[in-house]
């Protein structure tokens, strides 16, 4: 079987990391902000050991060949279209879909809009979009994600975040940054090199700036495929209420899991998360 190294959609070219047994059952991994497909490097080997093939794309704005201008190009409908195009390019039928953070929002939306392409869904950290919206008025969620309003500003978020990421990668602050985020020094170095210096940060922020361009019908759609939602008990960005409300938008078999982790579960708890993904896929 030929490995997939890239695919196209909307005239854009997306890079893909395709690894593991070539004849294995495919698991598509969608990264979050502010990362790329390398986010899954520590988790993928645990899935390979179980016989799964992993396909991790650099999503819109992160792949150098897929950086359209303007926030409208980064609305959820467009991101779902990219995921659908990837699965159709694979040509192996429906896949097990996994997403973290923003990748989880895309995965929820893809599973709702194109259930013919998704066998199972595992969402990590970020809940169903409607569960997130409902939690804003019934928990501490609005305080936890107030930064999203600041991300609507032009230029300033790029400047502030770039400086913050450089500071976190500095040797004298690495231990504190690791304790706060769950990312170690090597991972901060990679984020700085591939996302900040690689030019993806501005386009990743466009995902946030496209949030007001939302189709309410799309946001409300439930997911019927078998689903597992995974949250970290130490996640400072997502409240427990998000996870509690998520169950209401999964009409098929649903399971909720909590790991002793911060927000970046794929890096902090790769073995445990891989076991959860495999359990959902096998079930």
**pLDDT digits 0-9 by tens, 6-32:** 999 999 999 999 999 999 999 999 999
d(CA 141, CA 206): 21
pLDDT range class, residue 2, cuts 50, 70, 90? confident
Task: Determine the 3-state secondary structure of 205 from DSSP.
Answer: helix
> H helices within 50-135, ranges in order?
76-90, 102-113, 129-135
pTM equals 0.96
Judge whether 103 and 82 are in contact, CB under 8 Å: no
pLDDT tens per residue across span 86-111? 999 999 999 999 999 999 999 999 99
Q: What are the sequence ranges of the domains in the chain?
A: 6-141+213-282
d(CA 165, CA 157): 12
d(CA 139, CA 25): 39
Please say whether the structural domain 6-141+213-282 has been given the CATH code 3.30.1330.180.
no
């Amino acid at each position: 079987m030929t490995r997939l190294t890239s695919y196209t959609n909307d005239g854009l070219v997306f890079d893909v990391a395709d690894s593991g047994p070539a004849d294995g059952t495919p698991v598509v991994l969608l990264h979050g902000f502010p990362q790329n497909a390398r986010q899954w490097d520590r988790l993928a080997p645990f899935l390979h050991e179980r016989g799964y093939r992993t396909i991790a794309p650099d999503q819109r704005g992160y792949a150098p060949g897929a950086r359209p201008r303007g926030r409208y190009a980064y609305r959820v409908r467009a991101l779902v279209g990219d995921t659908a195009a990837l699965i159709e390019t694979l040509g192996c039928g429906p896949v097990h879909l996994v997403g973290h953070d923003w990748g989880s929002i895309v995965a929820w939306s893809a599973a709702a809009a194109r259930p013919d392409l998704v066998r199972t869904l595992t969402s990590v950290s970020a809940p169903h979009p409607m569960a997130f919206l409902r939690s804003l008025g019934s928990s501490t969620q609005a305080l936890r994600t107030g930064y999203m309003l600041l991300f609507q500003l032009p230029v300033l978020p790029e400047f502030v975040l770039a400086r913050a990421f450089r500071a976190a990668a500095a040797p004298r602050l690495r231990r504190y940054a690791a304790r706060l985020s769950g990312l170690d020094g090597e991972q901060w170095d990679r984020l700085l090199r591939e996302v900040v210096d690689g030019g993806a940060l501005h386009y990743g922020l466009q995902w946030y700036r496209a949030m007001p361009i939302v189709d309410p019908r799309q946001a409300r759609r439930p997911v019927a495929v078998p689903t597992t939602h995974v949250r970290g008990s130490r996640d400072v960005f997502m409240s427990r209420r998000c996870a509690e409300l998520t169950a209401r938008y999964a009409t098929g078999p649903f399971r909720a899991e909590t790991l002793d982790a911060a927000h970046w579960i794929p890096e902090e708890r790769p073995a445990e998360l891989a076991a959860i993904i495999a359990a959902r896929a096998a079930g």
